[in-house]
Amino acid sequence: MKAKDLRERSGDDLKELEKSLAKDVFTARFKNFTNRLDDTSAIKKTRRDLARVKTLLREQTINATSKGEATAEAKAPAKKAAPKKKAAAKTAKKSAAKKEAK
């Protein structure tokens, strides 16, 4: 597939294509592992096509966001990692309690 041909497709069509290519990559890798794949270069070609599709989807998302048409993906707040200090304090308390019990 060429990027020029992919640019003409709609976003929904690209999402469908992304799902099918991801499935194709999985089946090709599985067949290769079980020695049923004749053309091992198919894995590499499919992975590159999948990367092209993902790149175009990301470009569409960025373009939509820059135009003010924020998508649900862009509106969602980023998840914050849990602070590690609290977890460390809890384990310190537990170990101190165990030492006192001895």
Give yes or no for a contact between 64 and 11, defined as CB atoms under 8 angstroms apart. no
Q: DSSP assignment, residue 77?
A: P
pLDDT in the model for residue 80: 66
Q: Name the residue with tokens 């990301």.
A: 58
Give yes or no for a contact between 43 and 32, defined as CB atoms under 8 angstroms apart. yes
**What are 30-87's pLDDT values in tens digits?**
999 999 999 999 999 999 999 999 999 999 999 999 888 655 555 666 666 666 666 6
Instruction: Tell me the fold of 3-101.
Output: Helix Hairpins (1.10.287)
Helices (H), 11-102: 11-33, 41-66, 72-75, 84-101
Query: Cα 96 vs. chain centroid, distance in angstroms?
Result: 42
What are the two backbone dihedrals, phi and then psi, of residue 93, each rounded to the nearest 5 degrees?
-65, -40
